[in-house]
Structure 1
Amino acid sequence: MSQADFGSPREAARAFTPKLSAFVDDTLNPCVWSDPTLSLRDRSLVTVAALIAGGHLDELPSHLRRAVTNGVTHALTQDICYPTVVVASCNLLPVRMQAGATYDE
Structure 2
Amino acid sequence: MTDQLKQVGGGRKMFDDFAPKLAELTDDVLFADIWNRPELSARDRSLITVAVLTAGGNTDQLGFHLGRAVENGVTQEELIEAITHVTLYAGWPRGMAAMSVAKHVFTENK
The TM-score with structure 1 as length reference comes to: 0.68
- Residues 5-64 of structure 1, C-alpha deviations (whole Å, 9 max, x = no match): xxxxx83xx153221121111222211111111111111000111011111111011111
Q: Mark the runs of 5 or more structure 2 residues left unpaired by the alignment.
A: 1-12, 93-110
Q: Matched residues in 1 for 2:30 and 2:71: separation? A: 20
Structure-1 residue corresponding to 2:76: 74
Q: Mark the runs of 5 or more structure 1 residues left unpaired by the alignment.
A: 1-9, 91-105
Over aligned residue pairs, what C-alpha RMSD do you find? 1.8
Aligned length in residues: 79
Q: Matched residues in 2 for 1:26 and 1:19: separation? A: 10
Structure-2 residue corresponding to 1:33: 35
Structure-2 residue corresponding to 1:103: none
Structure-2 residue corresponding to 1:62: 64
Structure-2 residue corresponding to 1:18: 20
Structure with the larger helix share = 1
- Computing the radius of gyration from Cα coordinates, the structure with the larger value is 1
- Secondary structure of 1:71's aligned partner: coil
The TM-score with structure 2 as length reference comes to: 0.65
Which amino acid letter does the alignment assign opposite residue 73 of structure 1? Answer: T
